[in-house]
Structure 1
Amino acid sequence: MQRKLTSLLLGLGLLGGALAATGSAQGHGYTDSPVSRQQLCGNGTVRGCGQIQWEPPSVEGLKGFPNRGPADGRICAGGNGRFAELDDPRGGSWPATTLSPGSNHTFVWRITARHATTDFRYYVTRDGWDPTKPLTRADLDPQPFLTVPFGGRLPGATVSHSGVLPQKSGRHLILGVWTIADTGNAFYACSDVRF
């Protein structure tokens, strides 16, 4: 019995080491305010979402956005083909959170596994953006309207921070990017909003 237990622990240790060596972030999360597409799929508000309905915190892709990261048209899924339903604009019919332009908003991330964090950044679509087409970099204002530095600290299970919303009107999309400090990855969350 002792030998089997030792073998099991050794095997788990090797597996853990192999997973750590992949460089994949061990943290996962999504925006809950404003509600993200993956959260809408995960809680059953939106149907026909494929795998993301079971894995809303798993939209992980390369960091460095906007210079690097997911390709245009694949941004909402973090470049992950398993979650391509998030990039489908659904004819512009994703449920949208109503926000007041220029007001203070508390952004909330749900973190299911903590990981050292560089920052959280928020981009918004330009005026005239077409919500019936997949998101591209050209659709976004070039600079984030809010950046929250985290200095490599570990986030809690819920991360909340306040910021002033941009002066926009009509339907828009807010892209939240959670940049991991010690891997090459970030987590992406698209939230459909109406100002």
Structure 2
Amino acid sequence: MTARRRTAGILALGFAPLALAGLAAAPAAAHGSLTDPVSRVSACFAEGPESPVSAACRAAVAAGGTQALYDWNGVNIANAAGKHRELIPDGKLCSAANDKFKGLDLPRADWPATAMSAGKHTFRFRATAPHRGSFELFLTKPGYDPTKPLAWSDLEAKPFAEATDPRLENGSYVFDGTIPERSGRQLVYTVWQRSDSPEAFYACSDVTFGGGSAGGGTQDGGAEEGQQGSGGDSGPGTPETAPSAPSEDAIAEGSEKSSVEHNGHGDDDANTGAKVTAAAPAAPAEKTGGNTPEVNTASQDEVLAETGGSSSSTFLAIGGAGALAAGAAVLFASQRRRAIAGGRRGR
């Protein structure tokens, strides 16, 4: 064997573990939105982008089109890096200053709203592509007027709920917080800042305190699209239905029409990507018998949330491992044949 070939073989085998480590560590892209309390964009997507039920969602489509609803999990800023207040001007908090989502910024008092009360609450953020990061939830101040454009000054200075790398349960991040006392119609503003990327996601969730309708309908036929709604209190003809989060079927079907990179589950980084994560319960831990240690077969989503990996990076790592193993086997067989042949010639 020549020195060059011997060196090539050593390098190929030596870099195999490093290559595998790099493949396994490939980052996933994050996407999602708050679903409890349900965000404006999630509620409107659940109503159906082509024919929304509520006047507010119809107005959002009239202002920004249906694509914004199909991209419900992509209200983001790729290079936010925590500079949310610097990058998002007053009046554009719900769209994150993204013109595609401008319909979400319409100042209306009839957005589909979730009934809430002060005290402990469990929040859920549907993550179609989970990743490490921190959540901050802000509540509007007493006296908030939903008929005026939402400004940063309308929100409390400090978040009332925070969570870093919360548990992933059935495709959603789940964490607890304590809701302050409020009355009437308010708004919860969510910021999800990735810790492995400057990308951040935003969500506006309309809520009502102290009774009143949580429905998104209007009185006597409702306001004209694009105009102020009729308010959050019950009245003649106002449906009492609360807004719904998108179903798993709707998420799967809607992803086919998503314009966000990686079919609605990626980001602006071409080197990252992740498959849609279906909401599925974790499998119970199993024992194989004997002295074999217990094997935890938790859902892949939960493992990825802990490691910061992605479904695609897992499959990529497996494929890369197979390719490297095959290459090493070929190299070993080649060198063995050369050694045998050399031994025969020396006899």
* TM-score normalised by structure 1 residue count: 0.79
- Extract unaligned runs of 5+ from structure 2: 1-25, 48-52, 210-347
Q: Which residue of 1 aligns with 2:148?
A: 133
Does residue 85 (structure 1) correspond to residue 108 (structure 2)? The answer is no
Q: Which residue of 2 aligns with 1:9?
A: none
Q: In 2, Cα distance between the equivalents of 1:65 and 1:194?
A: 29
Deviation per CA, 1:132-153: give whole Å up to 9, x if none.
Answer: 1221111111111111122xx8
Between Structure 1 and Structure 2, the one with more helix by share is 2
Does residue 42 (structure 1) correspond to residue 54 (structure 2)? The answer is no
Deviation per CA, 1:153-184: give whole Å up to 9, x if none.
Answer: 89562111111111111110000111111222
Q: 1:99 aligns with which of 95, 100, 116?
A: 116
Secondary structure of 1:141's aligned partner = coil
CA contact (8 A) 1:124 1:140 kept: yes
- Aligned-residue CA RMSD (Å): 2.2
Secondary structure of 2:135's aligned partner = strand
Deviation per CA, 1:54-104: give whole Å up to 9, x if none.
Answer: 111000022425543422111111121111011112x31101111012x21
Q: Higher mean Cα deviation, 169-178 or 156-165?
A: 156-165
Deviation per CA, 1:31-61: give whole Å up to 9, x if none.
Answer: 1100100111211253343222111100002
Q: Which residue of 2 aligns with 1:28?
A: 31
* TM-score normalised by structure 2 residue count: 0.45
Displacement of 1:26 in angstroms is 2.0
- Extract unaligned runs of 5+ from structure 1: 1-19
Letter of the 1:192 partner, please give it.
D
CA contact (8 A) 2:39 2:205 kept: yes
Does residue 122 (structure 1) correspond to residue 126 (structure 2)? The answer is no
Q: Higher mean Cα deviation, 58-67 or 77-86?
A: 58-67
Does residue 53 (structure 1) correspond to residue 42 (structure 2)? The answer is no
Q: Which residue of 1 aligns with 2:128?
A: 112
Q: Which residue of 1 aligns with 2:159?
A: 144
Secondary structure of 1:183's aligned partner = coil
Letter of the 1:76 partner, please give it.
C
Question: Larger C-alpha radius of gyration, 1 or 2?
Answer: 2
Q: In 1, Cα distance between the equivalents of 2:145 and 2:183?
A: 13
Q: 1:68 aligns with which of 79, 86, 89?
A: 86
Secondary structure of 1:174's aligned partner = strand
CA contact (8 A) 2:167 2:174 kept: no
Q: 2:193 aligns with which of 160, 179, 193?
A: 179
Displacement of 1:121 in angstroms is 0.5
Q: In 2, Cα distance between the equivalents of 1:70 and 1:154?
A: 29
Q: In 2, Cα distance between the equivalents of 1:67 and 1:84?
A: 17
Inter-CA distance 65–166: structure 2 relative to 1 (3 Å threshold): farther
Inter-CA distance 56–125: structure 2 relative to 1 (3 Å threshold): same
Inter-CA distance 69–115: structure 2 relative to 1 (3 Å threshold): farther
Q: In 1, Cα distance between the equivalents of 2:83 and 2:117?
A: 26
Aligned length in residues: 168
